[in-house]
């Protein structure tokens, strides 16, 4: 199914989607553009390269309540938070981020235990992907081509959106996507002309080149095991790292979380929230011993997890080359360069 | 119902706390709104206590110590003066009402002053109303 | 040759000389990152490493941040711009690094640019001084007659606001916080291990990104930096969600300078303001 709408009518489309349920879309705030739940249709922008934070928070919020409790004199009352996500839409997801949802599904759904919090939101959300603009060069930090993703890749999207000078074209990719497209009366049916336009634009976008090196999942996984003990390499590669954790929080495929009971006087919540393997006390044990006290150990773990252990455990590299970690790094550490150097060792 | 402010008082053991005691033994009347915590010296006060107090719902924080020059430990309150001054600037710049945090030097013999300060501060807090900016809201 | 190119040449020359002669075991400077506009902090250890050193308008990192990591008696050469040199002075005052262990390579420069926006960095977000306050070797010509403006001009708007308007401003800014702690790690003065946020007894703030936790973290950190922040702007540049932390740090720097008659990181013989008291301190500061 192919649908279209004139660019000037975009606000109507946003309002129409908002009538059905929560909409998450890019909003410009201060310097950067980030996904937010939309309150005012005029807030949505399609003029951006990519958001500073990834859209993973839609399915995996930074902080999520799990159990609410009240400490009593005799007993503690506790009540699990009920899962009741409303049918939602996330609009404006770049191909690398759409692909990241599929990778995250492997941890949250495909590892033997279904994470009900992820699942609840995931099944009720329709993803509208958004092709990169072929007239804008790829950011030098990006390398999604290396991970087999093109600038107009539809993998992970339920609907794929392409922008022309005057219109927005929407192609249904999955059944869920087709259903939403059918429901949005404000969209017009696309003709054969538009279908061709879509394919042409998609082809044009896919010609956008990012940094690229040839890597095969199994080969790179083995390589990192091989170079694990090369302390000199790792110390040099990570010498500038300040161990802040910004890279982990902006990454679309990082999923570590911590669980804590947070109580105020008598009432509290057991919640889960993002953790980062880059934090100094990530592996700190109750005894006081820390298996990874040094920065190079933590950084090495992060790279090896994404490019080696994850391949063995889940069958794919846990990275989509979106470049956010490099862009958000206060000291410009570039994971692509590290992988390139390691592969040549 | 009339608003009764909840005020955290932090008093140094040697001067202000003793002064407060004197106010009691001389049967001076003053409002009951101050909950007092005793510290050995005003320099023990960690500015984070003040932030925490507001977060936990205090409507006002009143700190009392020895007069500069009369600290039981010699120089404690001289350091405290700088620390508390910076704390006040932080609260003000963050947008907390400046009057909600007050520092007074009250000696062991100034029972009357203690009563007066508490009276005045409580009156000010009543006028300002409940503190809502820093107070943790349970959702 | 432009001023920056000259500085780069001198940097390479001095680094090579110091490493070859064994005067230092490491030179902390800048290297090329994934492209020219994104350099990285680089520690040269061998004379050949000096060839990889760079200097351009995007070399904004405050390298003083790495100094406390090295064991005492390690001889270190560190490349510092004006604010960075103040950080070095402050660290010496706080005894985190010894003056005799350092060879300070001063970089007098104006026109540094923000890597994210390409805009010139000025007194709105940093101290905007041109010349280092301390050096052993100058890598470029001292800058004369640079009128950078007061680093506190940018505070006028917030200072003029009512209490309530200021609270609304900061509430909105702090809500953006994702507790990544990039600000803390980027700051040369945040060398505490463990940091108060890492403590579980007492638990100052919960780990999850609650608004009250943001307030406790940021306000306490502003307090810990009072009289110590040298206005380099690293914290604000590091922030992935663009919280204008520099505004609060500048406000406290301004107040501390006025109250205690001392600016952070200017003279190594100074005693840090918050572990000191002055005979001229008056109760006026408590009003």
Place of tokens 């040839």: A214
Helices (H), chain B: 18-25, 47-55, 76-94, 111-128
pLDDT at C207: 87
Q: What is the DSSP string of chain C?
A: --HHHHHHHHHHHHHHHHHHTTS-SEEEEEE--SSTTS-EEEEE-SGGGGGGB---TT----GGGGGGGSPTT--EEEEE-HHHHHHHHHHHHTTSS-GGGEEEEE------B-TTT-PBP-TTTS----S-SS-SEESSPPP-S-----TTGGGHHHHHS-HHHHHHHHHHHHHT-----HHHHH-TT---SS-GGG-SSS--S-SS--HHHHHHHHHHHHHHHTTT-----HHHHH-TT---HHHHHHHHHHHHHHHHS--TTS-TTPPPGGG---TT--GGGG-
Q: Which residues of A touch C114 (CB under 8 A)?
A: none
Task: List, in order, residues 6 or more apart from A112 with CB less than 8 Å away.
Answer: none
pLDDT at C121: 95
CB nearest to B81's CB, from C158, C275, C281: C281
Q: Which fold has domain B7-128?
A: Rossmann fold (3.40.50)
Strand, coil or helix: A48: coil
Q: How confident is the model at residue B139 (pLDDT cuts 50, 70, 90)?
A: low
Q: DSSP state, B113?
A: H
Q: Which residues of A touch B136 (CB under 8 A)?
A: 264
- Name which of C275, C262, C267, C278 is nearest C92 in CA terms: C267
Q: Are strands A267-274 and C137-138 parallel, antiparallel or unpaired?
A: unpaired
A240 and C206: CB-CB below 8 Å? Answer: no
- Report how far Cα B46 is from the mean position of its chain's Cα atoms: 13
Among chain B, residues having any CB pair with chain A shorter than 8 Å are: 136, 138
CB nearest to A245's CB, from C34, C115, C181: C181
Q: Which residues of C touch B48 (CB under 8 A)?
A: 196, 204, 216, 220, 223
Domain boundaries, chain B: 7-128
Residues 41-60, chain C: which have Cβ within 8 Å of A?
41-43
pLDDT at C83: 96
Do residues C250 and C152 touch, judged by C-beta distance below 8 A? yes
- Name which of C134, C228, C246 is nearest C183 in CA terms: C246
Residue B41 has pLDDT above 70, yes or no: yes
Residue B1 has pLDDT above 80, yes or no: no
CB nearest to C185's CB, from A30, A140, A242: A242
Place of tokens 């010609």: A207
Q: What is the least distance, in Å, from the CA of C159 to any CA of chain A?
A: 21
Strand, coil or helix: A10: helix
DSSP element (H, E) containing A5: strand A2-6
Q: Please check whether residue C208 touches A, CB under 8 A.
A: yes
Kindly list the partner chains of chain C, i.e. chains with 3 or more CB atom pairs below 8 Å: A, B
Place of tokens 């020359």: C13
Task: List, in order, residues 6 or more apart from A199 with CB less than 8 Å away.
Answer: none
Sign (positive/negative) of CA torsion A190, A192, A193, A198? Answer: positive
Dihedral of CA atoms A30, A32, A38, A41 in degrees, nearest 10, equals 70
Do residues B47 and B63 touch, judged by C-beta distance below 8 A? no
On average, the pLDDT of chain C sits at 95
Please report the number of interchain residue pairs, chain A to chain C, with beta-carbon separation below 8 angstroms.
100
| C188 CB-contact burial (10 Å; exposed 0-12 / middle 13-18 / buried 19+) | buried
| A97 CB-contact burial (10 Å; exposed 0-12 / middle 13-18 / buried 19+) | buried
pLDDT at B15: 94
Residue of A nearest to C182 (CA): A244
Residues 15-44, chain A: which have Cβ within 8 Å of C?
29-32, 34
C223 and B81: CB-CB below 8 Å? Answer: no
Task: List, in order, residues 6 or more apart from C51 with CB less than 8 Å away.
Answer: C12, C16
Please report the number of interchain residue pairs, chain A to chain B, with beta-carbon separation below 8 angstroms.
3
Place of tokens 């990039």: C182
Q: Give mean pLDDT in consecutive 10-residue pieces for chain A, a chain of 345 residues.
A: 94 96 93 93 95 96 95 91 94 97 95 94 96 93 96 96 94 96 93 93 92 95 96 95 94 96 92 95 93 96 97 95 95 96 92
At how many degrees (to 10) do helices A217-227 and A295-304 cross? 160
Phi–psi pair at A127, nearest 5 degrees: -100, 120
B136 and A264: CB-CB below 8 Å? Answer: yes
Q: Which residues of B touch C216 (CB under 8 A)?
A: 48, 51-52, 55
Do residues B47 and B19 touch, judged by C-beta distance below 8 A? no
pLDDT digits (tens, 9 = 90+) for C154-170: 999 999 999 999 999 99
- Name which of C180, C186, C285 is nearest C227 in CA terms: C285
Residue B137 has pLDDT above 90, yes or no: no
C-alpha C97/C-alpha C27 separation (Å) is 15
Residues 42-71, chain B: which have Cβ within 8 Å of C?
47-48, 51-52, 55, 68
C-alpha C5/C-alpha A290 separation (Å) is 44
Residue of B nearest to A268 (CA): B138
Is the previous residue joined to B138 through a cis bond, with omega within 30 degrees of 0?
A: no
- Name which of A101, A96, A185 is nearest A147 in CA terms: A96
pLDDT digits (tens, 9 = 90+) for C252-275: 999 999 999 999 999 999 999 999
| A340 CB-contact burial (10 Å; exposed 0-12 / middle 13-18 / buried 19+) | middle
Task: List, in order, residues 6 or more apart from A46 with CB less than 8 Å away.
Answer: A10, A26, A92, A130, A163, A168
Q: Which residues of B touch C166 (CB under 8 A)?
A: 93-95
A31 and C115: CB-CB below 8 Å? Answer: no
Q: How confident is the model at residue C201 (pLDDT cuts 50, 70, 90)?
A: confident
pLDDT digits (tens, 9 = 90+) for A61-101: 999 999 999 999 888 899 999 999 999 999 999 999 999 99
Q: Which residues of B touch A264 (CB under 8 A)?
A: 136, 138
Q: Which residues of B touch C170 (CB under 8 A)?
A: 94-95
C238 and A53: CB-CB below 8 Å? Answer: no
On average, the pLDDT of chain B sits at 95
Q: Which residues of B touch C220 (CB under 8 A)?
A: 47-48, 51
Strand order in the sheet with B101-105: B34-39, B7-12, B60-65, B101-105
Mean pLDDT, residues C46-70 taken together: 96
pLDDT digits (tens, 9 = 90+) for A158-182: 999 999 999 999 999 999 999 999 9
pLDDT at A75: 87
A267 and B136: CB-CB below 8 Å? Answer: no
Q: Please check whether residue C27 touches A, CB under 8 A.
A: no
| Interface-testing mutation among A65, A69, A70, A265, with chain B (most B C-beta atoms within 10 A) | A265
pLDDT at C146: 92
A281 and C184: CB-CB below 8 Å? Answer: no
């Amino acid at each position: 199914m192919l649908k279209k709408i004139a660019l000037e009518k975009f606000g109507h489309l946003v309002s129409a989607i908002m009538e059905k349920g929560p909409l998450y879309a890019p909003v410009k705030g201060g310097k950067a553009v980030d996904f937010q739940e939309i309150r005012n249709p005029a807030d949505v922008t399609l003029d951006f390269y990519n958001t500073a934070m990834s859209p993973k928070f839609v399915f995996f919020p930074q902080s999520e309540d799990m159990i609410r409790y009240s400490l009593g004199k005799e007993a503690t009352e506790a009540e699990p938070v009920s899962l009741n996500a409303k049918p939602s839409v996330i609009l404006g997801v770049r191909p690398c981020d759409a692909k990241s949802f599929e990778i995250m599904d492997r941890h949250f759904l495909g590892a033997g235990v279904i994470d009900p919090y992820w699942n609840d939101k995931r099944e009720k959300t329709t993803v509208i992907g958004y092709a990169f603009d072929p007239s804008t060069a790829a950011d030098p930090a990006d390398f999604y081509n290396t991970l087999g993703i093109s600038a107009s890749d539809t993998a992970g999207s339920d609907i794929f959106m392409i922008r022309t000078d005057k219109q927005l074209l929407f192609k249904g990719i999955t059944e869920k996507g087709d259903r939403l497209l059918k429901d949005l009366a404000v969209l017009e049916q696309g003709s054969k002309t538009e279908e061709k336009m879509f394919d042409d634009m998609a082809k044009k976008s896919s010609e956008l080149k990012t940094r690229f090196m040839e890597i095969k999942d199994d080969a790179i996984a083995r390589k990192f095991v091989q170079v694990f003990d090369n302390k000199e390499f790792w110390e040099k590669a990570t010498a500038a790292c300040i161990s802040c954790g910004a890279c982990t929080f902006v990454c679309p495929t990082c999923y570590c979380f911590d669980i804590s009971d947070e109580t105020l006087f008598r009432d509290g919540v057991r919640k889960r929230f993002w953790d980062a393997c880059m934090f100094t006390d990530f592996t700190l044990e109750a005894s006081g011993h820390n298996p990874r006290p040094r920065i190079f150990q933590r950084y090495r773990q992060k790279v090896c997890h994404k490019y080696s252990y994850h391949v063995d455990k889940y069958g794919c590299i846990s990275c989509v080359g979106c470049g956010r970690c490099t862009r958000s790094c206060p000291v410009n550490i570039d994971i692509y360069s590290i992988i390139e150097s390691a592969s040549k060792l | 119902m009339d608003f009764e402010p909840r005020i955290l008082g932090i008093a140094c053991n040697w001067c202000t706390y003793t002064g407060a005691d004197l106010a009691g033994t001389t049967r001076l009347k003053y409002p009951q709104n101050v909950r007092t915590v005793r510290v050995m010296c005003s320099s023990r006060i960690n500015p984070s206590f003040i932030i925490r107090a507001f977060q936990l719902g205090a409507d006002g924080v009143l700190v009392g110590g020895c007069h500069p020059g009369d600290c039981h430990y010699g120089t404690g309150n001289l350091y405290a003066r700088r620390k508390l001054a910076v704390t006040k600037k932080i609260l003000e710049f963050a947008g907390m009402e400046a009057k909600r945090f007050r520092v007074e030097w009250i000696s062991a013999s100034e029972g009357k002053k203690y009563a007066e300060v508490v009276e005045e501060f409580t009156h000010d807090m009543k006028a300002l109303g409940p503190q809502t900016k820093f107070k943790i809201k349970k959702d | 040759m432009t001023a920056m190119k000259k500085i780069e040449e001198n940097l390479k020359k001095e680094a090579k000389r110091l490493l070859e002669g064994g005067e230092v075991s490491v030179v902390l400077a800048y290297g090329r990152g994934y492209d020219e506009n994104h350099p990285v902090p680089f520690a040269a250890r061998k004379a050949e490493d000096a060839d990889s050193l760079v200097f351009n308008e995007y070399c904004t990192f405050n390298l003083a941040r790495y100094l406390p990591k090295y064991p005492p008696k390690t001889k270190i050469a560190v490349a510092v711009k004006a604010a960075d040199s103040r950080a070095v002075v402050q660290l010496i005052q706080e005894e985190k690094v010894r003056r005799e262990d350092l060879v300070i390579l001063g970089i007098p420069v104006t026109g540094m640019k923000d890597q994210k926006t390409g805009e010139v960095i000025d007194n709105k977000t940093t101290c905007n001084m041109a010349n280092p306050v301390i050096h052993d070797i100058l890598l470029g010509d001292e800058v004369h007659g640079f009128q950078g403006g007061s680093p506190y001009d940018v505070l006028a708007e917030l200072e003029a606001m009512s209490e309530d308007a200021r609270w609304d401003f900061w509430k909105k800014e702090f809500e953006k916080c994702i507790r990544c702690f990039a600000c803390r790690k980027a700051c040369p003065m945040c060398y505490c291990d463990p940091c108060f946020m890492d403590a579980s007894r007492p638990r100052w703030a919960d780990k999850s990104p609650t608004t009250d936790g943001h307030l406790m973290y940021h306000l306490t950190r502003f307090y810990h930096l009072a009289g110590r922040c040298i206005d380099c702007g690293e914290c604000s540049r590091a922030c992935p969600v663009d919280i204008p932390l520099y505004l609060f740090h500048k406000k406290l720097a301004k107040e501390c300078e006025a109250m205690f008659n001392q600016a952070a990181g200017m003279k190594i013989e100074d005693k840090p303001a918050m572990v000191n008291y002055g005979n001229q301190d008056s109760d006026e500061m408590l009003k």
